Structure 1
Amino acid sequence: MSLPTYNCLIVDDEPPAREVLKRYITKLPMLNLIGECSNALQVIAFLHANPVDIMFLDIRMPQLNGLELVSSLVGRPKIIFTTAYSEYALESYDLEATDYLLKPIKFERFVKAVNRALPNYQPPPVTKADISTLAKENFLYFRADRKMVKVVLKEILYVESLKDYVKIVIPDGQVITKYSMAAMEAMLPAGMFLRVHRSYIIAINQVISFNKTHIQLGRLEIPIGKIYQIAVFKKLSMP
Protein backbone atom coordinates (compact mmCIF):
# COMPACT_ATOMS: atom_id res chain seq x y z
CA MET A 1 0.00 0.00 0.00
CA SER A 2 1.43 3.38 -1.00
CA LEU A 3 1.58 6.27 1.44
CA PRO A 4 -0.78 9.20 0.85
CA THR A 5 0.84 12.31 -0.55
CA TYR A 6 0.28 15.89 0.55
CA ASN A 7 0.50 18.95 -1.68
CA CYS A 8 3.01 21.58 -0.57
CA LEU A 9 3.56 25.22 -1.45
CA ILE A 10 6.75 27.19 -0.73
CA VAL A 11 6.43 30.94 -0.18
CA ASP A 12 9.65 32.95 0.18
CA ASP A 13 11.02 36.01 -1.57
CA GLU A 14 14.59 34.64 -1.44
CA PRO A 15 15.48 32.03 -4.11
CA PRO A 16 18.22 30.34 -2.00
CA ALA A 17 15.72 29.77 0.82
CA ARG A 18 13.26 28.22 -1.63
CA GLU A 19 15.97 25.92 -2.96
CA VAL A 20 16.70 24.56 0.54
CA LEU A 21 13.04 23.75 1.14
CA LYS A 22 12.68 22.17 -2.31
CA ARG A 23 15.64 19.91 -1.60
CA TYR A 24 14.18 18.85 1.76
CA ILE A 25 10.72 18.21 0.30
CA THR A 26 12.11 15.90 -2.40
CA LYS A 27 13.62 13.70 0.33
CA LEU A 28 10.22 12.93 1.85
CA PRO A 29 8.04 10.69 -0.37
CA MET A 30 4.78 11.77 1.28
CA LEU A 31 5.29 15.40 0.19
CA ASN A 32 4.41 16.67 -3.28
CA LEU A 33 5.66 20.15 -4.18
CA ILE A 34 3.08 21.76 -6.49
CA GLY A 35 4.31 25.33 -6.53
CA GLU A 36 6.39 28.18 -5.17
CA CYS A 37 5.64 31.87 -4.74
CA SER A 38 7.87 34.85 -4.08
CA ASN A 39 5.25 37.02 -2.39
CA ALA A 40 1.97 36.78 -0.52
CA LEU A 41 -0.19 38.21 -3.32
CA GLN A 42 0.82 35.34 -5.60
CA VAL A 43 -0.25 32.93 -2.86
CA ILE A 44 -3.84 34.18 -2.78
CA ALA A 45 -4.28 33.50 -6.51
CA PHE A 46 -2.50 30.14 -6.25
CA LEU A 47 -4.69 28.89 -3.40
CA HIS A 48 -7.85 29.76 -5.33
CA ALA A 49 -6.71 27.49 -8.17
CA ASN A 50 -4.88 24.68 -6.38
CA PRO A 51 -5.49 22.43 -3.34
CA VAL A 52 -2.63 22.88 -0.84
CA ASP A 53 -2.20 20.78 2.30
CA ILE A 54 0.97 22.37 3.74
CA MET A 55 2.39 25.82 3.15
CA PHE A 56 6.00 26.61 4.07
CA LEU A 57 5.77 30.36 4.60
CA ASP A 58 8.32 33.10 5.15
CA ILE A 59 7.25 36.06 7.29
CA ARG A 60 9.17 39.14 6.18
CA MET A 61 8.14 39.69 2.56
CA PRO A 62 7.25 42.79 0.49
CA GLN A 63 3.67 44.13 0.22
CA LEU A 64 2.05 41.65 2.64
CA ASN A 65 3.95 39.71 5.28
CA GLY A 66 3.35 36.06 6.14
CA LEU A 67 1.41 36.76 9.33
CA GLU A 68 -0.93 39.16 7.56
CA LEU A 69 -1.43 36.63 4.77
CA VAL A 70 -2.43 33.83 7.15
CA SER A 71 -4.81 36.14 9.01
CA SER A 72 -6.59 36.87 5.73
CA LEU A 73 -7.05 33.26 4.64
CA VAL A 74 -10.23 31.25 5.11
CA GLY A 75 -9.90 27.46 5.08
CA ARG A 76 -6.14 27.77 5.22
CA PRO A 77 -3.74 24.83 4.80
CA LYS A 78 -1.39 23.72 7.56
CA ILE A 79 1.14 26.53 8.04
CA ILE A 80 4.82 25.99 8.80
CA PHE A 81 6.57 29.34 9.13
CA THR A 82 10.16 29.51 7.88
CA THR A 83 11.95 32.67 8.96
CA ALA A 84 15.24 34.11 10.17
CA TYR A 85 13.48 36.08 12.92
CA SER A 86 12.44 34.62 16.27
CA GLU A 87 10.36 37.58 17.46
CA TYR A 88 7.21 36.50 15.58
CA ALA A 89 6.89 33.11 17.29
CA LEU A 90 4.10 34.10 19.68
CA GLU A 91 2.07 35.69 16.90
CA SER A 92 2.47 32.54 14.80
CA TYR A 93 1.02 30.37 17.56
CA ASP A 94 -1.89 32.77 17.95
CA LEU A 95 -2.60 31.98 14.29
CA GLU A 96 -2.46 28.24 15.14
CA ALA A 97 0.57 27.60 12.96
CA THR A 98 1.75 23.99 12.93
CA ASP A 99 5.38 24.95 13.52
CA TYR A 100 7.92 27.77 13.42
CA LEU A 101 11.28 27.02 11.81
CA LEU A 102 14.24 29.35 12.23
CA LYS A 103 16.69 29.71 9.35
CA PRO A 104 19.12 28.14 8.69
CA ILE A 105 16.78 25.14 8.87
CA LYS A 106 18.26 21.74 9.64
CA PHE A 107 16.76 18.74 7.87
CA GLU A 108 16.04 16.94 11.16
CA ARG A 109 14.05 19.92 12.38
CA PHE A 110 12.22 20.14 9.06
CA VAL A 111 11.14 16.49 9.37
CA LYS A 112 9.82 17.12 12.88
CA ALA A 113 7.70 20.00 11.57
CA VAL A 114 6.30 17.82 8.79
CA ASN A 115 5.41 15.13 11.33
CA ARG A 116 3.47 17.70 13.30
CA ALA A 117 1.57 18.72 10.17
CA LEU A 118 0.77 15.09 9.33
CA PRO A 119 -0.13 13.44 12.66
CA ASN A 120 -1.07 10.15 10.99
CA TYR A 121 2.37 9.78 9.43
CA GLN A 122 4.49 7.22 11.27
CA PRO A 123 8.09 8.47 11.61
CA PRO A 124 10.92 5.98 11.03
CA PRO A 125 12.68 4.36 14.02
CA VAL A 126 15.07 6.63 15.89
CA THR A 127 18.72 6.05 14.98
CA LYS A 128 21.93 6.85 16.86
CA ALA A 129 22.23 9.97 14.68
CA ASP A 130 18.74 11.05 15.74
CA ILE A 131 19.64 10.62 19.40
CA SER A 132 22.76 12.70 18.86
CA THR A 133 20.61 15.45 17.34
CA LEU A 134 18.21 15.30 20.28
CA ALA A 135 21.11 15.79 22.65
CA LYS A 136 21.52 19.22 21.09
CA GLU A 137 17.78 19.99 20.80
CA ASN A 138 16.44 18.48 24.03
CA PHE A 139 13.39 20.65 24.67
CA LEU A 140 10.17 21.82 23.08
CA TYR A 141 7.99 24.89 23.57
CA PHE A 142 4.23 24.54 24.14
CA ARG A 143 1.62 27.27 24.27
CA ALA A 144 -0.10 27.30 27.66
CA ASP A 145 -1.77 30.10 29.64
CA ARG A 146 -1.16 32.58 26.79
CA LYS A 147 2.61 32.10 26.82
CA MET A 148 5.20 29.71 25.42
CA VAL A 149 6.38 27.21 28.05
CA LYS A 150 9.69 25.39 27.70
CA VAL A 151 9.52 21.66 28.48
CA VAL A 152 12.75 19.65 28.77
CA LEU A 153 12.19 16.24 27.15
CA LYS A 154 14.05 14.22 29.76
CA GLU A 155 11.86 15.70 32.53
CA ILE A 156 8.56 14.52 31.03
CA LEU A 157 6.97 11.68 33.02
CA TYR A 158 3.96 11.08 30.79
CA VAL A 159 1.41 12.75 28.54
CA GLU A 160 -2.33 12.31 29.09
CA SER A 161 -5.17 13.12 26.69
CA LEU A 162 -7.80 15.66 27.79
CA LYS A 163 -10.12 15.61 24.75
CA ASP A 164 -8.88 18.53 22.58
CA TYR A 165 -5.92 19.15 24.92
CA VAL A 166 -3.07 17.15 26.42
CA LYS A 167 -1.55 17.26 29.89
CA ILE A 168 2.25 17.02 29.98
CA VAL A 169 3.28 15.87 33.44
CA ILE A 170 6.72 16.83 34.78
CA PRO A 171 8.17 16.40 38.30
CA ASP A 172 7.20 19.87 39.51
CA GLY A 173 3.82 20.23 37.83
CA GLN A 174 2.04 19.97 34.51
CA VAL A 175 1.57 21.84 31.22
CA ILE A 176 -1.84 21.76 29.52
CA THR A 177 -1.74 22.64 25.83
CA LYS A 178 -3.97 22.25 22.77
CA TYR A 179 -2.56 19.26 20.87
CA SER A 180 -3.91 15.90 19.77
CA MET A 181 -2.29 12.72 21.07
CA ALA A 182 -1.37 11.80 17.51
CA ALA A 183 0.50 15.09 17.10
CA MET A 184 2.30 14.60 20.43
CA GLU A 185 3.29 11.06 19.45
CA ALA A 186 4.78 12.38 16.20
CA MET A 187 6.65 15.22 17.96
CA LEU A 188 8.21 13.21 20.80
CA PRO A 189 11.26 11.08 19.91
CA ALA A 190 10.41 7.38 19.66
CA GLY A 191 13.63 6.45 21.43
CA MET A 192 12.46 8.23 24.57
CA PHE A 193 8.66 7.93 24.58
CA LEU A 194 6.06 5.24 23.95
CA ARG A 195 2.32 5.34 23.25
CA VAL A 196 0.79 2.73 25.58
CA HIS A 197 -2.90 3.69 25.47
CA ARG A 198 -5.10 5.96 23.39
CA SER A 199 -4.94 8.40 26.32
CA TYR A 200 -1.31 7.98 27.47
CA ILE A 201 2.26 8.40 26.22
CA ILE A 202 4.93 7.49 28.77
CA ALA A 203 8.63 8.27 29.16
CA ILE A 204 10.46 4.96 28.75
CA ASN A 205 13.17 5.81 31.28
CA GLN A 206 10.51 6.37 33.98
CA VAL A 207 9.18 2.79 33.84
CA ILE A 208 9.72 0.87 37.10
CA SER A 209 7.78 -2.27 36.19
CA PHE A 210 5.04 -3.50 33.87
CA ASN A 211 2.68 -6.39 33.29
CA LYS A 212 0.03 -7.24 30.72
CA THR A 213 -2.34 -4.46 31.71
CA HIS A 214 -0.39 -1.71 33.51
CA ILE A 215 2.90 0.17 33.65
CA GLN A 216 4.31 1.45 36.95
CA LEU A 217 5.71 5.01 36.85
CA GLY A 218 6.78 5.80 40.41
CA ARG A 219 3.59 5.54 42.49
CA LEU A 220 1.38 5.87 39.44
CA GLU A 221 -0.10 3.03 37.39
CA ILE A 222 -0.73 3.74 33.70
CA PRO A 223 -3.10 1.39 31.82
CA ILE A 224 -1.94 -0.41 28.66
CA GLY A 225 -4.52 -0.42 25.88
CA LYS A 226 -5.23 -3.78 24.26
CA ILE A 227 -4.20 -2.64 20.81
CA TYR A 228 -0.87 -1.39 22.19
CA GLN A 229 0.08 -4.48 24.26
CA ILE A 230 2.26 -6.23 21.67
CA ALA A 231 4.19 -3.07 20.77
CA VAL A 232 4.62 -2.13 24.44
CA PHE A 233 5.95 -5.54 25.45
CA LYS A 234 8.30 -5.62 22.48
CA LYS A 235 9.68 -2.15 23.21
CA LEU A 236 10.03 -2.49 26.99
CA SER A 237 11.49 -6.00 26.78
CA MET A 238 14.36 -4.88 24.56
CA PRO A 239 17.76 -4.93 26.32
Structure 2
Amino acid sequence: MKTQCLIIDDEPLACTLIADYISKIPQLEVLAICHNALEAFETLKNKQVDLLFLDIQMPTLTGIDFLKSLSNPPKVIFTTAYREYAIESYELEVLDYLLKPIPFERFFKAVDKYFKSVCSIDAQVFPSKSVLVETFPDYIQINMNKKHHRVLFEDIIYAESLKDYVRVHTQNTSITTKEKISDFENKLPAFFIRTHRSYIVNAKKITAFTSQDVELGDREIPIGISYKQQVFEILKKI
Protein backbone atom coordinates (compact mmCIF):
# COMPACT_ATOMS: atom_id res chain seq x y z
CA MET A 1 0.00 0.00 0.00
CA LYS A 2 1.37 3.41 -0.96
CA THR A 3 1.88 6.25 1.51
CA GLN A 4 -0.94 8.77 1.02
CA CYS A 5 0.42 12.33 0.87
CA LEU A 6 -1.41 15.62 1.32
CA ILE A 7 0.23 18.79 -0.02
CA ILE A 8 -0.84 22.05 1.64
CA ASP A 9 0.58 25.22 0.07
CA ASP A 10 -0.94 28.43 -1.27
CA GLU A 11 1.67 28.64 -4.06
CA PRO A 12 0.62 26.58 -7.13
CA LEU A 13 4.21 26.23 -8.38
CA ALA A 14 5.32 24.87 -5.00
CA CYS A 15 2.48 22.32 -5.08
CA THR A 16 3.45 21.26 -8.59
CA LEU A 17 7.09 20.75 -7.58
CA ILE A 18 6.25 18.65 -4.51
CA ALA A 19 3.77 16.59 -6.51
CA ASP A 20 6.43 15.97 -9.16
CA TYR A 21 8.94 14.87 -6.51
CA ILE A 22 6.37 12.52 -4.97
CA SER A 23 5.74 10.95 -8.38
CA LYS A 24 9.44 10.00 -8.57
CA ILE A 25 9.21 7.81 -5.44
CA PRO A 26 7.13 4.67 -6.06
CA GLN A 27 6.13 4.26 -2.41
CA LEU A 28 4.42 7.67 -2.31
CA GLU A 29 1.15 8.88 -3.81
CA VAL A 30 -0.51 12.31 -3.90
CA LEU A 31 -3.91 11.95 -2.24
CA ALA A 32 -4.88 15.61 -2.56
CA ILE A 33 -3.53 19.16 -2.94
CA CYS A 34 -4.95 21.95 -0.77
CA HIS A 35 -4.16 25.65 -1.09
CA ASN A 36 -5.09 26.62 2.47
CA ALA A 37 -5.61 25.11 5.89
CA LEU A 38 -9.43 25.21 5.70
CA GLU A 39 -9.41 22.97 2.61
CA ALA A 40 -6.98 20.66 4.39
CA PHE A 41 -9.31 20.32 7.40
CA GLU A 42 -12.02 18.93 5.14
CA THR A 43 -9.63 16.51 3.46
CA LEU A 44 -8.34 15.18 6.78
CA LYS A 45 -11.89 14.64 8.02
CA ASN A 46 -12.86 12.56 5.01
CA LYS A 47 -9.68 10.76 3.95
CA GLN A 48 -6.85 8.78 5.50
CA VAL A 49 -3.62 10.82 5.18
CA ASP A 50 -0.23 9.36 6.10
CA LEU A 51 2.11 12.25 5.37
CA LEU A 52 1.62 16.04 5.18
CA PHE A 53 3.84 18.38 3.16
CA LEU A 54 2.87 21.60 4.91
CA ASP A 55 3.72 25.21 4.07
CA ILE A 56 3.97 27.66 6.98
CA GLN A 57 3.08 31.11 5.61
CA MET A 58 -0.48 30.81 4.29
CA PRO A 59 -3.50 33.14 4.38
CA THR A 60 -6.07 32.90 7.21
CA LEU A 61 -4.22 30.20 9.18
CA THR A 62 -0.50 29.46 9.22
CA GLY A 63 0.82 25.95 8.86
CA ILE A 64 2.09 26.01 12.45
CA ASP A 65 -1.30 27.06 13.86
CA PHE A 66 -3.00 24.49 11.64
CA LEU A 67 -0.76 21.72 12.96
CA LYS A 68 -1.34 22.80 16.57
CA SER A 69 -5.08 22.55 16.00
CA LEU A 70 -4.93 18.86 15.02
CA SER A 71 -5.52 16.40 17.83
CA ASN A 72 -4.01 13.42 16.02
CA PRO A 73 -1.99 14.72 13.05
CA PRO A 74 -0.27 12.57 10.42
CA LYS A 75 3.50 12.72 10.04
CA VAL A 76 4.50 16.22 8.90
CA ILE A 77 7.28 17.70 6.77
CA PHE A 78 7.33 21.50 6.67
CA THR A 79 8.05 23.18 3.31
CA THR A 80 8.77 26.88 3.69
CA ALA A 81 10.87 29.81 2.53
CA TYR A 82 11.40 30.99 6.11
CA ARG A 83 14.27 29.68 8.25
CA GLU A 84 13.14 31.39 11.47
CA TYR A 85 10.43 28.83 12.29
CA ALA A 86 12.88 25.90 12.48
CA ILE A 87 13.16 25.75 16.28
CA GLU A 88 9.39 25.91 16.79
CA SER A 89 8.95 23.14 14.22
CA TYR A 90 11.21 20.80 16.22
CA GLU A 91 9.07 21.49 19.29
CA LEU A 92 6.09 20.27 17.26
CA GLU A 93 8.01 17.07 16.51
CA VAL A 94 7.76 17.36 12.74
CA LEU A 95 9.89 14.99 10.68
CA ASP A 96 11.81 17.62 8.77
CA TYR A 97 11.99 21.28 7.78
CA LEU A 98 12.61 21.91 4.08
CA LEU A 99 13.66 25.36 2.89
CA LYS A 100 12.48 26.53 -0.53
CA PRO A 101 13.69 26.20 -3.21
CA ILE A 102 13.80 22.49 -2.36
CA PRO A 103 16.18 20.28 -4.37
CA PHE A 104 15.14 16.67 -4.92
CA GLU A 105 18.09 15.30 -2.91
CA ARG A 106 16.93 17.22 0.17
CA PHE A 107 13.31 16.18 -0.39
CA PHE A 108 14.41 12.55 -0.65
CA LYS A 109 16.29 12.81 2.63
CA ALA A 110 13.13 14.02 4.37
CA VAL A 111 11.09 11.16 2.89
CA ASP A 112 13.75 8.73 4.08
CA LYS A 113 13.18 10.04 7.62
CA TYR A 114 9.48 9.29 7.21
CA PHE A 115 10.10 5.68 6.22
CA LYS A 116 12.59 5.20 9.04
CA SER A 117 10.01 6.47 11.53
CA VAL A 118 7.21 4.21 10.31
CA CYS A 119 9.45 1.18 9.86
CA SER A 120 10.19 1.30 13.56
CA ILE A 121 6.45 0.93 14.18
CA ASP A 122 5.65 -1.88 11.76
CA ALA A 123 8.33 -3.18 9.42
CA GLN A 124 5.86 -5.57 7.78
CA VAL A 125 3.58 -2.85 6.41
CA PHE A 126 6.01 -0.21 5.21
CA PRO A 127 8.96 -0.41 2.77
CA SER A 128 12.36 -1.15 4.21
CA LYS A 129 15.17 1.41 4.12
CA SER A 130 16.91 -0.62 1.41
CA VAL A 131 14.16 0.28 -1.08
CA LEU A 132 15.07 3.94 -0.77
CA VAL A 133 18.82 3.45 -0.58
CA GLU A 134 18.78 2.05 -4.11
CA THR A 135 17.63 5.46 -5.34
CA PHE A 136 19.88 7.66 -3.19
CA PRO A 137 23.66 7.47 -3.85
CA ASP A 138 26.25 7.11 -1.09
CA TYR A 139 28.48 9.82 -2.55
CA ILE A 140 28.38 13.44 -3.64
CA GLN A 141 29.89 14.79 -6.85
CA ILE A 142 32.02 17.89 -6.24
CA ASN A 143 33.38 20.02 -9.07
CA MET A 144 36.82 21.63 -8.68
CA ASN A 145 38.89 23.15 -11.48
CA LYS A 146 36.71 21.51 -14.15
CA LYS A 147 37.29 18.10 -12.57
CA HIS A 148 34.42 16.09 -11.07
CA HIS A 149 35.29 14.38 -7.78
CA ARG A 150 33.13 11.63 -6.28
CA VAL A 151 33.40 11.83 -2.49
CA LEU A 152 31.73 9.29 -0.22
CA PHE A 153 29.47 10.92 2.38
CA GLU A 154 31.07 8.69 5.03
CA ASP A 155 34.50 10.17 4.23
CA ILE A 156 33.48 13.81 4.74
CA ILE A 157 34.43 15.19 8.16
CA TYR A 158 33.09 18.73 7.76
CA ALA A 159 32.50 21.49 5.24
CA GLU A 160 33.16 25.20 5.67
CA SER A 161 31.90 28.27 3.84
CA LEU A 162 34.37 30.60 2.14
CA LYS A 163 31.93 33.26 0.90
CA ASP A 164 30.75 31.91 -2.47
CA TYR A 165 32.79 28.70 -2.08
CA VAL A 166 32.63 25.58 0.06
CA ARG A 167 35.70 23.67 1.22
CA VAL A 168 34.99 20.01 1.94
CA HIS A 169 37.39 18.32 4.36
CA THR A 170 38.01 14.57 4.39
CA GLN A 171 40.58 12.63 6.40
CA ASN A 172 43.24 12.90 3.70
CA THR A 173 42.40 15.92 1.57
CA SER A 174 40.17 18.95 1.01
CA ILE A 175 38.23 20.00 -2.08
CA THR A 176 36.99 23.52 -2.79
CA THR A 177 34.02 24.15 -5.04
CA LYS A 178 32.07 27.25 -6.06
CA GLU A 179 28.75 26.85 -4.26
CA LYS A 180 26.77 28.45 -1.43
CA ILE A 181 26.95 26.40 1.76
CA SER A 182 23.14 26.36 2.07
CA ASP A 183 22.88 24.75 -1.38
CA PHE A 184 25.60 22.25 -0.47
CA GLU A 185 23.80 21.40 2.78
CA ASN A 186 20.67 20.43 0.85
CA LYS A 187 22.59 17.69 -0.95
CA LEU A 188 23.74 15.93 2.23
CA PRO A 189 22.16 12.99 4.10
CA ALA A 190 20.49 13.34 7.50
CA PHE A 191 23.65 12.61 9.54
CA PHE A 192 25.15 16.00 8.61
CA ILE A 193 24.46 18.90 11.00
CA ARG A 194 24.66 22.65 10.33
CA THR A 195 26.34 23.92 13.51
CA HIS A 196 27.13 27.44 12.33
CA ARG A 197 26.36 29.65 9.35
CA SER A 198 29.83 28.72 8.07
CA TYR A 199 30.09 25.04 9.06
CA ILE A 200 28.42 21.68 8.45
CA VAL A 201 29.72 18.61 10.28
CA ASN A 202 29.36 14.86 9.88
CA ALA A 203 27.62 13.82 13.12
CA LYS A 204 29.20 10.36 12.88
CA LYS A 205 32.64 11.98 13.23
CA ILE A 206 31.83 13.93 16.42
CA THR A 207 34.01 12.72 19.30
CA ALA A 208 32.92 15.31 21.91
CA PHE A 209 30.98 18.53 22.23
CA THR A 210 30.49 21.48 24.59
CA SER A 211 28.05 24.38 24.65
CA GLN A 212 30.41 26.26 22.36
CA ASP A 213 31.73 23.75 19.86
CA VAL A 214 31.84 20.18 18.56
CA GLU A 215 35.06 18.19 18.34
CA LEU A 216 35.91 16.05 15.34
CA GLY A 217 39.08 14.36 16.55
CA ASP A 218 41.60 17.19 16.85
CA ARG A 219 39.38 19.69 15.03
CA GLU A 220 37.06 22.08 16.90
CA ILE A 221 34.06 23.48 15.02
CA PRO A 222 32.06 26.34 16.59
CA ILE A 223 28.33 26.18 17.36
CA GLY A 224 26.58 29.40 16.33
CA ILE A 225 24.13 31.01 18.75
CA SER A 226 21.19 30.77 16.34
CA TYR A 227 21.95 27.06 15.69
CA LYS A 228 22.61 26.03 19.30
CA GLN A 229 19.18 24.72 20.32
CA GLN A 230 18.68 22.85 17.06
CA VAL A 231 22.15 21.28 17.27
CA PHE A 232 21.65 20.10 20.86
CA GLU A 233 18.26 18.58 20.04
CA ILE A 234 19.90 16.55 17.26
CA LEU A 235 22.92 15.57 19.37
CA LYS A 236 20.63 14.20 22.09
CA LYS A 237 19.24 11.69 19.59
CA ILE A 238 22.61 10.47 18.30
TM-score range (shorter-chain normalised) is 0.5 to 0.7
Q: Could you say what the CA RMSD is over the residues aligned between the two structures, in angstroms?
A: 3.0
Give the secondary-structure state (helix, strand or coil) at the position aligned to 1:132: strand
Shift of 1:24: 0.3
Please point out which of 195, 205, 221 is paired with 1:156.
205
Please point out which of 14, 33, 40 is paired with 2:11.
14
Residues 193 and 203 of structure 2 are in contact (CA less than 8 Å); yes or no, is this contact kept in structure 1?
Answer: no
Please point out which of 15, 35, 40 is paired with 1:38.
35
Give 1:131's aligned amino acid.
I
Give 1:83's aligned amino acid.
T
Please name the residue that 1:140 is paired with.
Answer: 193
Structure 2: gaps (5+ residues): 120-127, 143-152, 154-167, 169-183, 208-213, 222-230
Give the secondary-structure state (helix, strand or coil) at the position aligned to 2:133: coil
How many residues align? The count is: 161
Please point out which of 127, 136, 156 is paired with 2:137.
127
Supply the distance in 2 between the matched residues of 1:179 and 1:50 (Cα, whole angstroms): 36
Shift of 1:132: 2.3
| 1:1-239 matched pairs, under 5 angstroms | 4-119=1-116, 120=119, 121-122=128-129, 123-125=132-134, 127=137, 130-132=139-141, 136-137=184-185, 139-141=192-194, 152-153=201-202, 156=205, 171=217, 177=234
CA change 1:50–1:169 in 2 (3 A) is: farther
Structure 1: gaps (5+ residues): 143-149, 159-167, 185-239
CA change 1:71–1:169 in 2 (3 A) is: farther
Percent identity between the aligned chains?
A: 40
Give 2:133's aligned amino acid.
P
Shift of 1:18: 0.3
TM-score, length basis structure 2: 0.59
TM-score, length basis structure 1: 0.59
